[in-house]
Amino acid sequence: MSERRILITGASDGIGKALALELAKRGYHLALTARRIDKLTELKLDIEQRFPQIKVEVAAMDVGELACVEPTIRGLSKALGGLDIVMANAGIAYAGKFGESPLEKHIEVIHTNVSGAMATLDAALKLFREQGYGHLVGTSSVAAYRGFPRNAAYCASKAALSTFMEALRAETHKENIDITVLHPGYIDTEINRAVPSRPFLIYVDKGASVIADLIEKKVARSTVPVFPWNLVAPILKQLPTAIVARL
C-alpha cells in the first residue's frame, strides 16, 4: 500500500485527536494543527512511541487567523512530501440564547466554524489542483439538519459548512478531487459534555473508527454513526417548532 498522508485541523483533542490515533494505527502519516501546540506536541510524542514508522508533523494554527492558514498548510504539506487528505475539523461551540447572550460569542462560532473551515479548504484545494488529486473532508454535525434553541450559531455554522461542501463537490465534479462531509451525532467529547441529553451517544474511539472507515470509503456524506442518525437526522427537519422549542 502506498503511503497516505492526512492533515487534520483541531487535532489537539476530541474527534481530531482520536482520529489521529486511529489513522496512525492504519498507517497514515499525519500533519496535525490546533491552537494548543503543547497538546499537539504531547500527541505527536504519543503517536511516535506507539507507531515509530509514522511521520508526524505538528503546527500551531488558529483557523480563525485566516492569513496564517494557507502558509501553515503548505509548510506541513512540504514537510510530509505532499498531502492526500485534508480534514477541516476545527470547530467551537457556544450555548446561549440569541439576544440574551454576547453577540461576539455567536459571531466567533460562525467565524471559526465557517470562515476557518473555508480557509482550510481553500488552501487544500489549491494544493490538490497543483498535484492533480486529493480528498477534502469536512466535519459538520447532525446539528446542521435543524436549528436548535440556545445553539443558533453552532447549528447555522454546520449547515453552512455542509452546504458549502456540497457546492464544492459540484465545482470539482470533473476533477480528481473527492469531497466528504460528515455529520457526527453525540460523540463523547468535551464540546458536548455539558449537554443535558445526548441521545445515541458513542465513545470517541468508536466515533474515530467510524469516521476513518467513511473517509477511506470516500463517501459523499454520512452521519456518524451511520445508524440511527441516518434515519433520525432527516426527521429533525420535520419536527414542529413547539417540540423543538422544548429541547
The set of cell numbers assigned to 74 is 503548505
> Which among 171, 168, 151 is positioned nearest to 91, based on CA atoms?
151
Strands in 149-237 per DSSP E: 177-184, 221-224
Chain segment 172-222, per-residue pLDDT in tens: 999 999 999 999 999 988 778 777 778 889 999 999 999 999 999 999 999
CB-count burial class (<10 Å; 0-12, 13-18, 19+) for 28 = buried
Our count of domains for the chain comes to: 1
Q: Which helix (H) or strand (E) holds 138?
A: strand 134-139
For position 28, what pLDDT does the model report? Answer: 98
Instruction: Using the CB atoms, write b or e for 62-79: b if 16+ within 10 Å.
Output: bbbebebbbebbeebbee
| Spans of the chain, pLDDT less than 50 | 1
In order, the DSSP letters of 210-234 are HHHHHHHHT-SEEEESSTTHHHHHH
Alpha carbon distances (Å) from 70 to 73, 76, 116, 180:
5, 10, 11, 20
CA 223 to chain centre: 13
Nearest residue to 85 (alpha-carbon basis) of 38, 29, 46: 29
pLDDT of 30 reads 98
Compute CA distances 176 → 130, 190, 219, whole Å: 11, 36, 15
Q: At what angle do helices 204-217 and 14-25 cross, to 10 degrees?
A: 60
| Active-site residue set | 154
Q: In this predicted structure, what is the pLDDT of residue 2?
A: 64
Query: How far is it, in rounded angstroms, from Cα 145 to Cα 143?
Result: 5
Q: Which domain holds residue 196?
A: 4-246
pTM above 0.85, yes or no: yes
Q: Are 156 and 247 contacting, i.e. CB atoms less than 8 angstroms apart?
A: no
List the CATH number of the domain containing 203. Answer: 3.40.50.720
